[in-house]
Amino acid sequence: MILTRGARVTGAVLSAVLAVMVACWLIRDVRAADFGQVWRYWAGFHESGLWVLPTTSAMDVVLFVVYVAVAVAALRTTVAGPALIAAGAVTLAVRLPGLWTIDNRLMESGYSDDLRSRALICAFVALAAGAAMIITAGAGRRPPADSYEPLPTRPGPGAGVVAFLALGAAGAVLIAWEIRQMVRYPELFPEWFTGGDRIGQQLTGAPPGWGAVTLALLCLFCAIGAVARATHARPFGLIAAALLLPGAVIGVARIVHYEMFDHFDALPTEMQLTLLSWMFQGFAAVAALIALAVPGGAAAPGPDRGPWGGGPGWGPAGPAPAAPPYPAPQPPGYGYPQGGGGFGPPPPPSQPPPGW
C-alpha cells in the first residue's frame, strides 16, 4: 500500500494528536503523584498509598510509543499505510468502552466531574482520530511511481513462523485465562468485559476482560497473517507484541516484589500457572518483536494481489525487480550523448521526438 504525500502528512498529524493526548494524561498522573507511586499502582502493589487515583495504566505508555513510531514512519516512508490502519484499529478497540464506562458510579466516586468530562471528550477525539487514520490509509493509496520505489515488506519465512508460534500461543493463553475467569466468577459476567460498578479500571482504559480479549484476538489475527506472510503482518504484529509487554513486565515485577519464586512449590497450582503465563507472555512478546522487526521480501505489484495479500491491487507477490547492473543504452537523440567526458556541467538534452 503506497500512500500519497497528503495521506502521509494527514496520518502523521492524526497519530501525533493521539500521542499528545496520551502524554497529557500521563503527565497529569505524574504531577498528581510521583512516578514511583504511579508505577506501584500500575503494578498492583497494594501498599502504594495513593490519595489520588491515576487515570492511566502501563498500556498507555506503550500506546504513546506506538503513536510516535507511526507518526515518524508516516513521514519517512511511503509504505506506512498498514501501520496507520493498525494504530487506528487498536485505538478504536481500546477507547470505545470509555463512551459508557466513564460515567458509571464507580468512576463518579473515584474521579471529579471535570476530569471525567475531559476523559469523555478525549475518548470521542481518539475514536474520531482512529477512524480517520483508517480512512486516510484507504483513500490515500496510489500505485508505485516506478519499479524502484519502496514497496510494503512482509515477514521472512522463518520470522513468519516464529511470530505465528509466539503470538498464536500468547493469544491462546489469554483466551484460556478469560474462559477460566468466566467459570470461576460467573457473577461478574458480563461486567468483566463491558465494565460496571463492580469492576475497577482506569479512567481512560478499557475493562479488564475487554482489553484481554481484544489483545488476544489481535495476537491471533497477527499470527495468521505472519505465517501467511501478508504485508499487514509486520505493523500489526509489532503493535500486538508491544501491547503484550506491559502485562509481562508487571507480572515479573510482582514475582520479584513478592518473592514468589522463593515459595513456588508452596503456591497453589493456579498461581503457579499464572506466574508461568506472565513469563511466557514476556518471552513471546520479545520473540515476536525481534522476528518482525527485520523486514523480509518486498511485495511486488501484480494483477492478482491486494493490499492484504489477495484480490486486485498490491500484495506480497515477491521481491521487487532488481535494478540492472549497467544503464541501458539510449537511442540517439534521447538524453545526453553517450560519448564525451571531462569536467563541468553536461550539455543540455536534445529535443524529444514529436508526440513524446
Measured CA to CA, the distance from residue 81 to residue 236 in angstroms comes to 11
Residue 348 lies in a domain: no
pLDDT at 16: 98
Residue 311 lies in a domain: no
Which tens digits make up the pLDDT trace of 167-200? 999 999 999 999 999 999 999 989 999 998 888 8
Residue 164 lies in a domain: yes
pLDDT at 102: 94
pLDDT at 117: 96
pLDDT at 151: 82
Residue 16 lies in a domain: yes
Q: How many domains does the chain contain in total?
A: 1
**Residue 110 burial by Cβ neighbours in a 10 Å radius (0-12, 13-18, 19+):** middle
Residue 92 lies in a domain: yes
Question: What integer best gives the mean pLDDT of the chain?
Answer: 84
Residue 63 lies in a domain: yes
Per-state percent for the chain, helix, strand, coil, to nearest 5: 60, 5, 35
Domain of 134? 2-143+152-295
The enclosing H or E element of 51 equals: none
Residue 352 lies in a domain: no
Residue 173 lies in a domain: yes
User: Which residues, given as ranges, of the chain have pLDDT below 70?
Assistant: 1, 46-50, 147, 297-356
Measured CA to CA, the distance from residue 15 to residue 250 in angstroms comes to 26
Burial 10-34 (b: 16+ CB within 10 A, else e): bbbbbbbbbbebbeebbeebbeebe
- 187 backbone φψ class: left, alpha, beta (φ>0; ψ -120 to 50): alpha
pLDDT at 34: 82
Q: What is the DSSP letter of 130?
A: H
pLDDT at 149: 78
